[in-house]
Amino acid sequence: MTRTGPQRIPGAVLDLFFGNDRYSGSDMEVNCGVIHTTEGSTLYDYNQGSSAPTVTSVPDFKNKRLVHHQHFDIDESARALVNKAGGVLTNTANVFQWELVGTCDPARHADWTRRGVPHIYWPEPPDWAVRDMAWLMRWLLTNHGVPLVGVPEWRAYPASYGNTSVRMTFSQWTNFRGWCGHQHVPENDHGDPGNLPFARILAAAKGGTPPEEDDVALTDAEIKRIVDKVWAQRITSPTADPKKGDPTRSASTFLAYQDKFHHELMARFDAVEKQINDRIEAQLKALIEALQEDK
């Protein structure tokens, strides 16, 4: 199956992209979306991609925006759903999987609030989070045809957990198009994203225009993740012998050896320069003495 349409979300951060790694997925054509909540307050690597969604949206409270970290191409199966043997397809069922950093659990929300942990309680998201969710839903409609429709009931957590009446049958899931939550997917028992105000998000997605992208600085944590990934990149060494092992080195190793080589080379230059100067000085001294004796 050919992946059609743009595969990268405009402005998405690719610091945790797993689509070209050992957990890369199958080709498909998305026609529905499943919304999750991470039940954590920060981004993490999903066990190096083994349980990653298509994208994770992280709140940037300072700049009042969602930062989208993309993990797989749009038309590539992700890994955030349970897929039991002998049942129905879940991860590979043409589904876009979307994790929202934050919680739908009122007990966790109360605890985080008491302890001063910055977070979004997704049953009550701020307007800017709704705006950025709506923008991505519109983009997926325009570029991949994911309909702006959704299931009628988004049950509050924890009543949404387990085999509830809002969870789809195999047949309903197979024929589903549009948007639902993790709580609606068969073969799964999670109850996220709780009573997400989907009608409010859908109304924003259907009206208005996409927000203009602002030139907003990356957070320190985002910069560190990008820098760490750059330094970990493997580069083939021009002096390595492939017969003697891996000919690649990390970028940080190249820098360390280059820095050491530079210092050693400069020390040699300094030594040679000193020898030349000493010889010139000695020869000039001898020449001066010879001229004085001739007088």
The verdict on 92 and 227 lying in the same domain is: yes
Q: Report helix, strand and coil shares of the chain as percent, to nearest 5.
A: 35, 15, 50
The verdict on 91 and 164 lying in the same domain is: yes
Q: How many domains does the chain have?
A: 2
Residue-level pLDDT at 212: 46
C-alpha angle 64/68/74, rounded to 5°? Answer: 150
3-class secondary structure, 44: coil
C-alpha angle 65/71/74, rounded to 5°? Answer: 90
Cis peptide before 59 (omega within 30 of 0): no
| pLDDT, tens digit, 9 for 90 and up, residues 168-186 | 999 999 999 999 999 999 9
Q: pLDDT confidence of 264, banded at 50, 70, 90?
A: confident
Determine, yes or no, domain membership for 237: no
The verdict on 170 and 86 lying in the same domain is: yes
Contacting residues for 121 by C-beta, under 8 A, at least 6 apart? 102, 103, 104, 106, 109
Position 101 pLDDT exceeds 70: yes
pLDDT, average across residues 34-52: 96
Residue-level pLDDT at 259: 72
Max mean pLDDT among 53-57, 80-84, 247-251 falls in: 53-57
Please state, for a pLDDT cut of 70, what percent of the chain lies above it.
93
Position 202 pLDDT exceeds 60: yes
Residue-level pLDDT at 203: 96
The verdict on 97 and 37 lying in the same domain is: yes
The verdict on 271 and 214 lying in the same domain is: no
Contacting residues for 82 by C-beta, under 8 A, at least 6 apart? 90, 187, 188, 189
Amino acid at 187: E
Q: Which of 81-85, 190-194, 229-233 has the lowest mean pLDDT?
A: 229-233
Determine, yes or no, domain membership for 174: yes
Q: Give the Cα separation of 236 and 248 in Å (integer).
A: 4
More reliable by pLDDT, 158 or 84: 158
| pLDDT, tens digit, 9 for 90 and up, residues 206-258 | 995 444 444 555 667 778 778 777 777 777 777 767 777 777 777 777 677 77
Determine, yes or no, domain membership for 83: yes
Residue-level pLDDT at 209: 46
Determine, yes or no, domain membership for 77: yes
Determine, yes or no, domain membership for 157: yes
The verdict on 274 and 226 lying in the same domain is: no
Determine, yes or no, domain membership for 2: no
Average pLDDT value for the chain = 90
Q: Give the Cα separation of 259 and 237 in Å (integer).
A: 16
The verdict on 196 and 71 lying in the same domain is: yes
Residue-level pLDDT at 295: 64
3-class secondary structure, 76: strand
Q: Where are the beta strands (DSSP E) in 243-290?
A: 248-250
Which range marks the domain in which residue 193 is found?
32-231
Q: Give the Cα separation of 119 and 41 in Å (integer).
A: 6
The verdict on 141 and 257 lying in the same domain is: no
